[in-house]
Copies of this chain bind each other. A is one copy, B any other.
């Protein structure tokens, strides 16, 4: 007899409609995820330090992105009982592992940005 549990034993496949990897793709492909995870590559940072590093991110979007990545287990949030309280964010092992494909995507975007902008201009003419 086939059960729902047995169907989840199939290897994950992002081309399949209900595969959980699609939701993960949405999260890790997000512009701000790429920048937050990339910014934490060299070690833990405070909220204000992240905001300085990632130009133009609003406090609201930063908070949402950090919370989503904490929920996914990509980073940890540590509160130190000081006055004023100090809060630091740091990649987990899972987050360090994510750095590899995320850095590849960011570097590709940086490397090919001008060519893609030029392609768009030609197409729009």
Contacts and interface: CB of A to CB of B under 8 A. Distances in A.
A42 B101 CA distance: 21
B109 A21 contact: yes
Nearest to A92: B119
For this chain, the copies found in one complex come to 2
A73 B119 contact: yes
A96 to B, nearest CB: 12
Interface string A85-125: 00000000010011011101111111111111101100110
Contact of A123 (B17, B70, B113, B114): B70
A45 interface: no
Interface residues of A, number: 57
A60 interface: no
A12 interface: yes
Going nearest first, the 9 A-B pairs with the smallest beta carbon separation are A29-B29, A73-B119, A101-B104, A17-B55, A17-B56, A12-B110, A21-B113, A21-B109, A20-B113
Interface of A: 11-31, 34-35, 38-39, 53-56, 70-73, 94, 97-98, 100-102, 104-117, 119-120, 123-124
